[in-house]
Amino acid sequence: MKLRSLAMTVALATGAVWTSAAVAQAKEQFFPVLPYRTGAYAPNGVPWANGYADYLKLINARDGGINGVKITFEECDTAYATDRGVECYERLKGKAQGSVFQPLSTGITFALTEKAPGDKNPLITGGYGRSESSDGGIFKWNFPLMGTYWSGADIIMQHLTKKENGNLKGKKIALVYHDSPYGKEPIPLLQERSKMQGFDLTLLPVTAPGVEQKATWLQIRQNRPDYVLLWGWGVMNSAALKEAVATGYPREKMYGVWWSAAEPDVKDVGEAAKGYSGLVATGEGGKVIDDIKKLVHDKKLGTGPLEEVGSTLYNRGLVSAAMAVEGVRRAQDRFGKGKVMNGDQIRWGLENLALDDKALTKLGLSTVMKPISTSCVDHEGSRTARIHTWDGKKWVYSSDWIEADSSIIKPLVKQYAEKYATEKKITRRTAEDCQS
């Protein structure tokens, strides 16, 4: 297994990499990182990883760490493979007395959900993972912060319902999805809305990595759905757009989840992708971006190219790092400022996040993320996103913020969470446990 940035420590101002001996002596909070800079999904995985790393560097350079506790981090490249993800987890989990992991893969999340409780390592699965894990009463160690795939699918369907003047009855909607746990996640929500709203749902799986989609788009050309939802990743997204161009399917009728609507997905298609839309859960620009440019990139400490800073997936990685940092900071509020937090304490911090507009503004994050508040019951915390549309050269916001409909999602969460609890013989947490 290839480990990147061994014993990487980002020092205040200088950004120097300390030796492993110094790491052992210093008071430092360790963050394991499971990105994929290699493999078929690297074009999308790299900007996320760069945003994640740059934010951790910024906290050291700008703030001197988390209340004086310096951040160290180490990457282990998973190549988006579940077996490698599990191996990376096993190799990094002993670096601290519990750490917050971000698998960046629904498949890896499924595997680590079985391991995290015993190891007392919280999992942040921001915008991916098991949708039912928003139920903290069953999934004590999972945190699908800022939206699950059920929330994402619901937001898209709300947008389409509005476009159709409130009526989707008789419409045909096709889901073109990555044939993996990730791609299958939105299906229960879409099936539920299909029953409620009377539209016809067609499911079209695409074998990974998704380069070959001719048969899929032949079906679309024959059936002519009113809308196509794209649940792809990496090369699958640009391949889908190219097939849409080749078959004459209007890009204006295509909507992607947040992992299918970033710069790498459209840059090779360019003007031909004009009109394609997708979800975005983060903002752009603002103080945090300025700080990263000034205190990280201008100091020659940037992880990737400067021109990438502020892009869609970069910002997603940045926000993912911010949620991990703020979980540690919140834990320090209870268990001791200036102390290194263990996994159980970080879990408590993530379960008690309270980042309102004032807090986000103080951190310089108000332009790139919405307020988020979690609890024992709600491990999702925020479930809003916007639609942005590719104008041929750049992404342009084309909707206001939309919040997922809890009246539809909550019953699904309860159904699937309780099914999981029954299968795994898990007892729902008590009120006393929620205070622990």
Q: What is the DSSP string of 355-391?
A: E-HHHHHHHT-TTT---EE--SSBSS---EEEEEEE-
Range with the poorest average pLDDT among 36-45, 50-59, 128-137: 36-45
Beta-carbon contacts of residue 161 (< 8 Å; ≥ 6 apart) = 167, 168, 197
Mean pLDDT of 390-397: 96
* 149 pLDDT above the threshold of 60: yes
Reported as a pLDDT band with limits 50, 70 and 90, residue 208 is very high
Output the pLDDT for position 27: 87
Predicted local distance difference test score (pLDDT) of residue 436: 77
Please say if the pLDDT value at position 398 is more than 90: yes
- Residue 238 in this model has a pLDDT that exceeds 50: yes
* Percent of the chain at pLDDT exceeding 90: 91
Question: Hunting for tokens 């009109």 — which residue is that?
Answer: 275
Say yes or no to pLDDT of 112 above 50.
yes
Average of per-residue pLDDT values in the chain: 93
Average pLDDT over residues 380-392: 97
When pLDDT is cut at 50, 70 and 90, the band that residue 16 belongs to is very low
Q: 22 pLDDT exceeds 70?
A: no
**pLDDT grade for 300, boundaries at 50, 70 and 90:** very high
pLDDT at 222: 96
Q: Is 104 helix (H, G, I), strand (E, B) or coil?
A: coil
The alpha carbon of 93 is separated from its chain's Cα centroid by a whole number of angstroms, namely 21
**24-28, 150-154, 219-223, 234-238: which has the minimum mean pLDDT?**
24-28
Region 256-261: mean pLDDT is 98
| The pLDDT value given to residue 26 | 61
What's the distance, Cα to Cα, between the start and end of the chain in Å? Answer: 37
What domains sit in the chain, N to C, each tagged with a CATH number? 3-147+283-373 (3.40.50.2300), 149-280+385-404 (3.40.50.2300)
| Class of residue 272 by CB neighbours under 10 A (exposed 0-12, middle 13-18, buried 19+) | middle
Pick the range with the lowest mean pLDDT from 38-42, 150-154, 226-230, 423-427.
38-42
Mean local confidence (pLDDT), 109-128 = 97
Sign of dihedral through CA atoms 228, 231, 232, 233? positive
